[in-house]
Amino acid sequence: GQQLNQSPQSMFIQEGEDVSMNCTSSSIFNTWLWYKQEPGEGPVLLIALYKAGELTSNGRLTAQFGITRKDSFLNISASIPSDVGIYFCAGRNSGGGADGLTFGKGTHLIIQP
């Protein structure tokens, strides 16, 4: 099946630093999604990307849909303690349903005050 490689696996940063994480795929996706999961909770959608080359922001978060359709990155600027959590990328193909919905293994973000 399709594989998503998400990196880094974990990040230890100081409060106020910028963060960058990315996902690459061996195959094309039509949609890229970024989720955040906090302890004891389910993932929450942060940003959805629908077009190759699209750059979308949500507050301090910015994500881009790679032009090749095989990659995406997420940046967090000026990190704060509540940014701590696990960030997942997910790729999806048109038609909805379960086909093409693939998750990366997550990036654990730890922020030191």
Partner 1 sequence: GAGVSQSPSNKVTEKGKDVELRCDPISGHTALYWYRQSLGQGLEFLIYFQGNSAPDKSGLPSDRFSAERTGGSVSTLTIQRTQQEDSAVYLCASEIAGGVETQYFGPGTRLLVL
- Report the interface residues with partner 1, using CB under 8 A: 4, 6, 31, 33, 40-45, 48, 50, 88, 90, 92, 96-99, 101-106
Preceding omega of 43 cis (within 30 degrees of 0): no
Angle at 25 between CA 51 and CA 13, to 5 degrees: 90
Looking at the Cβ atoms of 42 and 59, the one nearer to partner 1 is 42
Q: Which two tokens stand for residue 75?
A: 């940046």
Contacts of 73 (CB under 8 A, 6+ apart): 20, 21, 22, 23, 63, 64, 66
Beta carbon of residue 45, minimum distance to partner 1 (angstroms, whole number) = 6
Q: How far apart are CB 48 and partner 1 at their closest, in Å?
A: 5
CB of 41 to partner 1, least distance (A): 5
| Token output for 70 | 């095989």
Residue with Cβ nearer partner 1 (24 or 77): 24
Closer residue to partner 1, CB minimum distance, 45 or 78: 45
